[in-house]
């Protein structure tokens, strides 16, 4: 069968590539055509465009590149019509993908499947109308999305497991590097416990969060501070944000770092869930402009109670969220103190992590999704 996949960023490229590998297991004749990246290309098939030609985020970049985005949408629609796939699989990236779904539903009988559903539970809940109309099947990787879609909006979906949970599980089972060897490889003190800082993967996040994170962590003199460097961010940028950076930055080794870390300060995002799955107590940090306004929006406009995946999955505050008006060096310091060894908050948080693990389950998300897709198409 012929599968047309569309992703818009690096994480989607990775998740889609794993889905493609499982699709090949269940459909030996699988053919792929896609808007994607290097990971998908390594699996095989025909790449139409690289996701980097699509990946514009934020109001101003989207406005400046509106012509390019519209041309890419038009080309994608025409390409789908020409190739006549057995299905279209969308991966996250809702601004682009929901537009494609609407077109495919209106002009063809090709089923549209959505893997890694749009986060409409946080904002733009009105998109549920187009999802119900245009998407044949939705495959979710977050367990709390099931009651949101099924109970609140009467739209049945499939919870297929969480790929991040599976990736961390596989890494931990296969990791053999000792703490001594890890520290030696990265120029760290093998005898001193580590506070890890994960300040985000985007330049603005790093600029906003890293200085305060460093100042708070540096107050704990018995610990060494290690910064997890984002793959796409050059060393020069960190030194621009923090001139004379006094602490080591470890690149391409976030998972090994978390294996040997005692506690962490983490900018909100997937990293909060990864840190929890490694069993590292954490404080979630997210500095924002006009913090009082953001707090008002969070209390009265944004539809969710939490910003971290850990708390959203648990449906309670397992990890403290230092967002907007709660973000300050003193408050980061206070919360970090509560989760260091010997503090009561540490064990309480670790118990909460067990609850999150249980809710995520043990399904292999791309495997189960591939089984569903092939079964549905054969019907």
Return d(Cα 121, Cα 128) in angstroms, integer: 9
Alpha carbon distance 54, 236 (integer Å): 26
CA gap 104, 86 in Å, rounded: 12
Helices (H), 218-339: 235-241, 254-259, 270-277, 291-300, 309-314, 329-337
Is residue 212 within 8 A of residue 328, CB to CB? The reply is: yes
pLDDT at position 281: 98
What is the pLDDT at residue 299? 58
**pLDDT attached to residue 73:** 84
User: Residue 342 pLDDT > 90, yes or no?
Assistant: yes
Looking at residues 146-165, what average pLDDT do you find? 96
Residue pLDDT, tens place only, 287-314? 865 545 555 555 545 567 898 999 999 9
The position carrying tokens 């990246």 is 37
Scan for tokens 């590149």, then name that residue: 65
Q: What is the mean pLDDT of the chain?
A: 91
State residue 369's pLDDT score: 98
Model confidence at 64: pLDDT above 50: no
Token digits of residue 130: 């187009």
Mean pLDDT across 56-78 = 64
Specify the pLDDT at position 56: 44
For the chain, the first-to-last Cα distance in angstroms comes to 13
CA-wise closest residue to 156 among 136, 174, 175: 136
pLDDT at 11: 83
Show the tokens assigned to 88: 């279209």
CA distance 17 to 197: 29
The pLDDT-based confidence of 61 (bands split at 50, 70, 90) is: very low
| Euclidean distance between CA atoms 42 and 36, whole angstroms | 11
Predicted confidence (pLDDT) at residue 244 exceeds the cutoff of 80: yes
Q: Give CA separation, 372 vs 15, 45, 105, 163, 365, in Å.
A: 16, 21, 20, 16, 11
Residue 198 pLDDT > 80: yes
Instruction: Give the pLDDT of residue 57.
Output: 46
Supply the pTM of this predicted model: 0.87
Which domains are present in the chain?
2-161+363-378 (3.40.50.2000), 166-360 (3.40.50.2000)
| Residue that the structure tokens 């310091």 belong to | 333
Average pLDDT over residues 66-85: 85
- Which DSSP letter does residue 280 get? -
Spatial distance between the Cα atoms of 68 and 202, rounded to a whole number of angstroms: 22
């Amino acid at each position: 069968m012929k599968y047309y996949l569309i992703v818009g960023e690096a994480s989607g490229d990775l998740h889609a590539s794993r889905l493609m590998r499982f699709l090949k297991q269940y459909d030996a004749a699988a053919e792929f055509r896609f808007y994607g990246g290097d990971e998908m290309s390594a699996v095989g098939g025909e790449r139409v465009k690289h996701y980097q030609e699509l990946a514009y985020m934020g109001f101003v970049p989207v406005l400046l590149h509106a012509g390019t985005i519209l041309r890419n949408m038009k080309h994608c629609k025409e390409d789908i019509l020409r190739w006549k796939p057995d299905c279209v699989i969308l991966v996250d990236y809702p601004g682009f993908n929901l537009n494609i779904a609407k077109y495919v539903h209106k002009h063809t009988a090709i089923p549209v499947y959505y893997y890694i559903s749009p986060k409409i539970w946080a904002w733009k809940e009105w998109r549920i109308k187009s999802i119900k109309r245009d998407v044949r099947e939705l495959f979710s990787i977050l367990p709390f999305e099931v009651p949101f879609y099924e109970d609140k909006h009467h739209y049945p979906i499939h919870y297929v497991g969480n790929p991040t949970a599976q990736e961390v599980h596989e890494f931990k089972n296969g990791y053999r590097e000792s703490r001594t060897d890890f520290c030696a490889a990265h120029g760290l003190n093998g005898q001193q416990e580590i506070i890890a800082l994960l300040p985000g993967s985007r330049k603005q996040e790093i600029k906003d969060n890293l200085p305060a994170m460093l100042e708070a962590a540096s107050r704990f003199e018995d610990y060494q501070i290690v910064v997890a460097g984002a793959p796409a961010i050059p060393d020069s940028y960190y030194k621009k944000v923090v001139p004379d950076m006094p602490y080591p930055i470890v690149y391409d080794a976030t998972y090994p770092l978390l294996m040997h870390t005692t506690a962490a300060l983490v900018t909100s995002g997937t990293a909060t869930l990864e840190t929890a799955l490694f069993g590292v107590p954490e404080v979630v940090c997210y500095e924002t402009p006009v913090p009082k306004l953001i707090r008002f929006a969070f209390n009265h406009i944004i539809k969710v109670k939490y910003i971290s995946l850990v708390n959203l999955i648990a449906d309670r505050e397992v990890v403290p969220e230092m967002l907007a008006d709660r973000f300050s060096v003193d408050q980061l310091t206070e919360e970090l103190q509560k989760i260091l060894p010997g503090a009561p908050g540490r064990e309480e948080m670790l118990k909460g992590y067990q609850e999150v693990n249980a809710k995520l389950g043990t399904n292999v998300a791309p495997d189960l999704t591939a089984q569903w897709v092939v079964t549905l198409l054969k019907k």
